[in-house]
Amino acid sequence: METSATIAAARPLFGDRLSVNHAIRETHAHGEANAASRMPDAVIFPETTAEIAQLLALCQANRTPVTAFGAGTSLEGHVTPVAGGISLDLSRMNRIIAVNDADLDCRVEAGVSRKQLNAYLRDYGLFFPVDPGADCTIGGMCATRASGTNAVRYGTIREAVLGLRAVLADGTIVDTGGRVRKSATGYDLTRLLIGSEGTLGIITEIQLRLFGIPEAIGAAVCGFASERGAIDAVIEIMQTGIPVARIEFADTGQMAASIAYSKLDLTAQPTLLFEFHGTPNGVAEQATMAETITAAHGGKGFAFATETEARTKLWQARHDSYWAARAAFPGHGAFSTDTIVPISNLAAAIAQARDAVTQSGLHACIVGHVGDGNFHVLILYPNTPDGAARAWALDRTIVGQALDLGGAASGEHGVGIGKREFLLREHGAPALTMMRTIKSALDPLNILNPGKLFLD
């Protein structure tokens, strides 16, 4: 690798937007994962797709690794430049290029954050529904195939993207998809790039589907005597076809932590959180149907509210669940599993995960976007010589259980570094060989985010 040659050639192109400052490099050495850090040799802040194309051509010529960086919120080590080289920070590419309100779509640069986009769209009466919790960038969400609390009704980022612009390893700029809702021509290159985690190209622009802001929104919370009752209620609600926008689960430990952290007037018990979208009458009908089902499974105190302040506080508490759990266990490290199973196997998956936590002797809180079978076990481990190793062993057990139930190692966080070992088991050798073939064809020198997705 001739990273120094790349830096020297790139400096006239980027000026003070190329930094070798230690502090800036250190902030680009990791995301929010607990994987090991590695500082890049330089950080570059491009402002256009053309600049990225020039840079990647230089990097390929000099065999310099390039790792894209958005908001740094990834949880599986995606943005860690494990081979050094260039960290490509797209945060300055944050223009909202166009909003086509008549067609319910927009075009944005990769550095636009989801909160920035929704603030801009409010005056159009539109919103972008994919909601991972963190204020991540749209480009990062595409790269990791992000999801979130609204996925049960609106789908994941995969369903939200109509087309992309990306730069390949040799500097070629490619446009995929378009603005139409469907097309029967050619390979689906858009979906190929979504979830590729920066290993096939650098996503620079995204064409997104939008939705009208609902006329009415209602939220509800309901406690249960048992986890099994809560999960069985979820399964029946989904099988009944109630168009719930969000349905989230929190176990007793998570509720205790969130009550203390977010000052909630609730009881620490297995709990479901709901959100309903539609007309006022439709929202009320959805809530009534959900309440009936929860009551049949032991749900008590179904509390429904349409006031914005109450809803906002409830969902902010859900998004703050990670920090609430950390606050409840000071001096502990933490990381989250991200398994997903067919919804009919959800109760079994959570019960098995609970047993694994008990056998490990570690603390853990369980939350989940259970409307689509996705749940997270937040493992809290002591800062002792063997603490992290015990946590990783628990994570492997929980992932293995999910795979045995027909699930996947990750529902929304992606592979990165942390889930590479499970790809072969989940997808099989022929599919993994096909993935490697695609990677080799598009990035023969392996300069794009090396060390991710695949075990060497």
DSSP assignments along 363-432, one per residue: EEEEEEEGGGTEEEEEEEEESSTTHHHHHHHHHHHHHHHHHHTT-BS-SSS--TTTTGGGHHHHH-HHHH
Please state, in angstroms and rounded to a whole number, the distance separating the CA atoms of residues 345 and 362.
24
Please state, in angstroms and rounded to a whole number, the distance separating the CA atoms of residues 337 and 318.
17
Q: What is the pLDDT of residue 34?
A: 66
Which amino acid does the sequence have at 80? T
Query: Of the candidates 49, 47, 59, 50, which has an alpha carbon nearest to the alpha carbon of residue 10?
Result: 59
Please state, in angstroms and rounded to a whole number, the distance separating the CA atoms of residues 417 and 156.
22
- Residue ranges of domains in the chain, CATH in brackets: 3-89 (3.30.43.10), 96-212 (3.30.465.10), 216-322 (3.30.70.2190), 329-404 (3.30.70.2740)
Average predicted confidence (pLDDT) for the chain: 95
pTM to 2 decimals? 0.94
Question: What tokens were used for 211?
Answer: 């939705």
Give the burial class of 429: count Cβ atoms within 10 A of its Cβ; 0-12 exposed, 13-18 middle, 19 or more buried: exposed
Q: pLDDT digit string (tens) for 93-120?
A: 999 999 999 999 999 999 999 999 999 9
Q: What is the pLDDT of residue 2?
A: 80
In terms of DSSP bridges, do strands 42-44 and 86-89 run parallel, antiparallel, or are they unpaired? Answer: parallel
Q: pLDDT digit string (tens) for 167-194?
A: 999 999 999 999 999 999 999 999 999 9
Please state, in angstroms and rounded to a whole number, the distance separating the CA atoms of residues 290 and 33.
36
Q: Are 206 and 164 in contact (CB under 8 A)?
A: yes
For each of the chain's 456 residues, which pLDDT tens digit applies?
589 999 999 999 999 999 999 999 999 999 987 667 899 999 999 999 999 999 999 999 999 999 999 999 888 999 999 999 999 999 999 999 999 999 999 999 999 999 999 999 999 999 999 998 788 999 999 999 999 889 999 999 999 999 999 999 999 999 999 999 999 999 999 999 999 999 999 999 999 999 999 999 999 999 999 999 999 999 999 999 999 999 999 999 999 999 999 999 999 999 999 999 999 999 999 999 999 999 999 999 999 998 999 888 988 888 899 999 999 999 999 989 999 999 999 999 999 999 999 999 999 999 999 999 999 999 999 999 899 999 999 999 999 999 999 999 999 999 999 899 999 999 999 999 999 999 999 999 999 999 999 987
